């Protein structure tokens, strides 16, 4: 579809052919500017390191979960509600950096939509994690090496991108016990690090990465991820960095629960894609972009949602879907004079009602015009004198039917 015709075409379809909207439920819709990015064979060799992205997605799932939720009890379907999943799918299926940039830009645009619930981890928080996930490190690292790479990279990102000059972050190398063989000493060292972080009140990227690295060193793997919740203000972002460290270490550093969850998410990332596949999302990006710019409330989103009225799944790029949670509707916004529940009409019903009102108005005007044109001949006929109009004569009766009798 040409982007220049998208607004007019989608508006017409939604009003005059509502049964065919969203159009993406019947055919895959791609803009003419986006199509050249898919010219190569999409079913080529899989790349993008889905095994590495699975741990990053799991880290973001933990960041969005309940504070007391365990990894084994978290449904894997929540992976589709993360920002990392569509990007992982995009890189795995298409292996196109330009398309990956487009995917990240669209995720940031959808994130700013106030009709969606705000997430504890933003795309800005995930940018350095995503950049490191696409690094050229192909082999598994030890826990010590992975921690060093991640913490140093976070420090470099903070220095070059954030340019913060606030309080300094605690250095993980100052807590030698974290690298020791005693589990008790590692736990005590982690507690000291947490106290230092709370005292510094630092929320920088380096501090968050250091917290995640310390929790990973305590368990020498993913078994002690729950320690991150001891710092609630930093825990959501720290889980994303924790997943990055786990992706560098690989399966040998994963506990059984992390392994099962990561392997399940990896299957979702590796799932194939074909242009003829039935739609897995509620709406494509072109349709979402049009609705987001045309309407100011969440009612059009709720009408389209197929699974539940509180979530909307968007196909950010073909094959990559992201699920967003809708903000609950506030009852105070309803006018006080509308006490009847039937008065609260949907946007589509309102548009159709307006069209019907216009049609009835035109029909009334047409009737008035036709009525004035036919009134003159009707009045001339009515002015004829009644005396000249004779009633029809009654038929005479035959002799057989009415015989005459003699007068008595």
Which of 101-105, 256-260, 279-283 shows the lowest per-residue confidence on average (mean pLDDT)?
Answer: 279-283
What pLDDT score was predicted for residue 10?
87
What pLDDT score was predicted for residue 355?
66
What is the overall mean pLDDT for the chain? 82
What pLDDT score was predicted for residue 126?
97
Would you place residue 368 in the very low, low, confident or very high pLDDT band (cuts 50, 70, 90)?
Answer: confident
- Encoding tokens for residue 23? 């159009």
- Name residue 283's beta-bridge partners: 314
- State the average pLDDT over residues 317-321: 93
What pLDDT score was predicted for residue 388?
45
The answer to whether the CB of 58 falls within 8 A of the CB of 262 is: yes
What pLDDT score was predicted for residue 329?
66
Peptide bond before 330: cis, by omega within 30 degrees of 0?
no
What pLDDT score was predicted for residue 30?
86
C-alpha separations of 117 from 14, 113, 240 in Å: 26, 9, 19
Would you place residue 87 in the very low, low, confident or very high pLDDT band (cuts 50, 70, 90)?
Answer: very high
What pLDDT score was predicted for residue 46?
43
Which is more confidently placed, 138 or 382? 138
Which is more confidently placed, 5 or 101? 101
Name the pairing type of β-strands 283-284 and 320-325: unpaired
What pLDDT score was predicted for residue 321?
95
The CB density around residue 34, as the number of other CB atoms within 10 Å, is: 17
**Residue % of the chain over a pLDDT of 70:** 78
- State the average pLDDT over residues 138-160: 92
What's the predicted TM-score (pTM) here? 0.77
Would you place residue 23 in the very low, low, confident or very high pLDDT band (cuts 50, 70, 90)?
Answer: confident
- Encoding tokens for residue 130? 């995503």
The CB density around residue 88, as the number of other CB atoms within 10 Å, is: 30
Helix runs in 335-387, H state only: 347-382
What pLDDT score was predicted for residue 330?
54
- How far is the C-alpha of 74 from the C-alpha of 184, rounded, in Å? 29
**What sign results for the dihedral spanned by CA atoms 68, 70, 74, 79?**
positive
Would you place residue 163 in the very low, low, confident or very high pLDDT band (cuts 50, 70, 90)?
Answer: low
- State the average pLDDT over residues 340-361: 59
pLDDT single digits (tens) 35-62: 888 876 444 444 568 999 999 999 999 9
What pLDDT score was predicted for residue 342?
43
Q: Is 184 exposed, middle or buried (0-12, 13-18, 19+ CB in 10 A)?
A: exposed
3-state helix vs strand vs coil in the chain, percent to 5: 60, 5, 35
The answer to whether the CB of 269 falls within 8 A of the CB of 275 is: no
Helix runs in 158-307, H state only: 183-200, 205-219, 235-249, 256-270, 285-294, 299-304
The CB density around residue 45, as the number of other CB atoms within 10 Å, is: 6
What pLDDT score was predicted for residue 11?
84
C-alpha separations of 104 from 96, 98, 99, 317 in Å: 12, 10, 9, 10
Which is more confidently placed, 88 or 25? 88
What pLDDT score was predicted for residue 381?
44
What pLDDT score was predicted for residue 248?
96
What pLDDT score was predicted for residue 305?
76
What pLDDT score was predicted for residue 3?
77
- How far is the C-alpha of 20 from the C-alpha of 24, rounded, in Å? 9
The CB density around residue 248, as the number of other CB atoms within 10 Å, is: 24
- Name residue 269's beta-bridge partners: none
Which of 104-108, 259-263, 296-300 shows the lowest per-residue confidence on average (mean pLDDT)?
Answer: 296-300
Residue 138 in this model has a pLDDT that exceeds 90: no
pLDDT single digits (tens) 216-225: 999 999 999 9
- State the average pLDDT over residues 232-243: 96
What pLDDT score was predicted for residue 164?
53
Residue count of the chain, please give it: 408
């Amino acid at each position: 579809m040409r982007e220049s015709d998208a607004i007019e075409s989608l508006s017409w379809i939604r009003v005059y052919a509502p049964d065919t909207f969203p159009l993406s439920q019947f055919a895959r819709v791609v803009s003419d500017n986006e199509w050249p990015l898919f010219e190569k064979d999409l079913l080529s060799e899989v790349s993008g390191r889905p095994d590495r992205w699975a741990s990053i997605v799991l880290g973001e799932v933990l960041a969005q979960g309940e504070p007391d939720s365990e990894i084994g009890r978290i449904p894997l379907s929540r992976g589709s509600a993360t920002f990392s999943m569509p990007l992982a799918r995009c890189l795995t299926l298409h292996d196109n950096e330009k398309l990956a940039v487009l995917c990240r830009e669209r995720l940031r645009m959808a994130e700013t939509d106030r009709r969606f619930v705000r997430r504890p981890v933003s795309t800005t928080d995930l940018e350095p994690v995503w950049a490191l996930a696409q690094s050229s490190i192909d082999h598994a690292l030890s826990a010590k090496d992975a921690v060093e790479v991640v913490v140093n990279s976070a420090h470099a990102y903070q220095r070059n991108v954030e340019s913060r000059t606030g309080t300094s972050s605690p250095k993980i190398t100052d807590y030698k016990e974290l690298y020791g063989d005693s589990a008790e000493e590692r736990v005590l060292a982690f507690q000291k690090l947490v106290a230092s972080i709370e005292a510094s009140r630092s929320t920088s990227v380096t501090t968050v990465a250091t917290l995640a690295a310390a929790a990973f060193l305590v368990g020498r793997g993913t078994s002690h991820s729950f320690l991150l919740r001891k710092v609630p203000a930093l825990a959501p972002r720290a889980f994303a960095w924790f997943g990055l460290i786990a992706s560098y270490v690989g399966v040998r550093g994963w506990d059984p629960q992390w392994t099962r969850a990561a392997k399940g998410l990896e299957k979702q990332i590796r799932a194939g894609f074909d242009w003829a596949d039935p739609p897995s999302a509620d709406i494509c990006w072109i349709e979402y972009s049009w609705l987001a710019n045309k309407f100011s409330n969440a009612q059009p989103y709720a009408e389209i949602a197929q699974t539940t009225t509180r979530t909307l799944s968007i196909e950010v790029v073909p094959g990559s879907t992201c699920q967003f949670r809708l903000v609950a509707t506030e009852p105070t916004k309803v006018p006080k004079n509308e006490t009847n529940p039937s008065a609260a009409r949907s946007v589509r019903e309102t548009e159709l009602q307006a069209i019907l009102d216009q049609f009835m108005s035109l029909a009334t005007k047409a009737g008035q015009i036709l009525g004035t044109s036919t009134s003159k001949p009707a009045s001339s006929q009515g002015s004829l004198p009644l005396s000249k109009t004779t009633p029809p004569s009654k038929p005479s009766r035959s002799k057989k039917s009415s015989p005459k009798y003699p007068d008595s």
